[in-house]
Amino acid sequence: MPEAPAGTLYRGREGMWSWVAHRVTGFLIFFFLLVHVADTSLVRVSPEAYNAVIGAYKNPIMGLAEAGLVAAIVFHAFNGIRVMLVDFWSSGPRYQRVMLWIVLGLVVVTMAAFLPRHLMNVFGGGH
Amino acid sequence: MSETTAAPELAAPRAPRNRRSTRTNYELYGWLFMRASGVLLLVLIFGHLYMNLMVGDGINAIDFAFVGGKWSSPLWQTWDLLMLWLAMIHGTNGVRTIINDYAERVGTRVVLKSALYLAFTITVVLGTLVIFTFEPCPAGADPELLASICFP
Ligand code: HEM
Ligand code: HEM
């Protein structure tokens, strides 16, 4: 494959992979949201119906899925800010690669703050 | 790869360009909306996740009474309403772009986009109705399952 001409972002390497990841996470979050609004609507059926369905979110497998969902949101959100900086900040395109590493660093820090608390809630010991 | 393909037709150098490929600016507005809504969604969703997963017992505390407590406050009603609309418009517009990129046949696009807009309409209408018609203290419900605000 020929070398990408200088200055383009979306040809292989970090610029392209971050775009793929942004797309995949956005797509997944959208489908989660459809299901999420549907099961929240059970509060209009009865307290028992809502509690039964939300109870399914409290087992360890779902607990891990929630951790994955949060990771997807956090990446999509921080990378979204990076995309905006590339678009609107005059030096953005020059720093797009550095900013991707900053995004990944912020994702790690945010998850480090979130995971212990959440996993304790999910696997007991937290209460 | 070995066969030769016809060279694409190129305009003569410095020929005046007709840059208008569409009559409207809707794609530009969509592009701007993705960015503006993204900033707001970051605050709304991080706040939502913090309140529902980090505070107190996190996921274990969520039940009908929890929702009853939150949605008896206009702050959280407004919060969730904004989050619902912005996330659904942002997500639907994003998925529309993805469909445009990968579904090459016109028929496939029409089918996928119709399904997308149907899901959008159902979800936004349902979610909005739920927020506005929610009854935190339904008559005759088991008092054990209700929020403390139901027992002043
Ligand atoms: C595992 C993580 C999540 C949990 C446990 C959770 C839990 C809840 C709960 C208990 C409610 C009821 C009202 C309230 O508490 O405000 C709710 C509503 C809502 N959530 Fe989440 N949520 C999660 C993730 C998300 C995400 C990632 C989004 C956005 C993409 C989101 C969007 C919404 C919306 C729009 C509503 C209002 C629904 C309606 O109008 O009927 N939630 N969520
Ligand atoms: C948390 C805050 C969020 C921020 C900061 C954000 C930011 C962005 C930005 C800036 C774009 C445009 C990317 C581009 O034009 O290249 C985008 C695309 C997208 N977003 Fe979000 N977003 C957020 C939340 C969400 C949510 C909740 C959903 C799902 C309901 C979502 C789904 C999508 C999708 C499907 C795309 C299209 C991806 C593509 O075309 O490749 N986003 N987001």
User: Which residues of B lie inside 8 Å of A (Cβ-Cβ)?
Assistant: 35, 38-39, 41-42, 45-46, 49, 53-54, 57-60, 62-65, 67, 84, 87-88, 91-92, 94-95, 98, 119, 123, 126-127, 129-130, 133-134, 138, 141-142, 145-146
- Mean pLDDT taken over chain B: 90
> Residue A124: which pLDDT band, with cuts at 50, 70 and 90?
confident
- Token digits for A119? 């996993």
Sign of the Cα torsion B79, A113, A124, A53 reads positive
* pLDDT above 90: percentage of residues in chain B: 68
Cβ neighbours around B122 below 10 Å, total: 13
pLDDT tens, residue by residue, B8-28: 777 777 776 666 667 788 889
B145/A38 CB distance under 8 A: no
- Tell me what the mean pLDDT of segment B46-50 comes to: 97
Instruction: Write down the domain spans for chain A.
Output: 14-123
Nearest to B129 by CA among A48, A50, A45, A49: A45
- Tell me what the mean pLDDT of segment B55-73 comes to: 92
**Considering only the top CATH level, what class is B28-136+145-150?**
mainly alpha
Q: What are phi and psi of B104, to 5 degrees?
A: -90, -30
More confident residue, A77 or B26: A77
Nearest to B130 among A41, A58, A84 (CB): A41
CB A68 within 8 A of CB A62: no
- Tell me what the mean pLDDT of segment A32-60 comes to: 94
The CATH code belonging to domain A14-123 is 1.20.1300.10
Which residues of A fall within a CB distance of 8 Å from B67? 40, 43, 50
- Tell me what the mean pLDDT of segment A52-60 comes to: 91
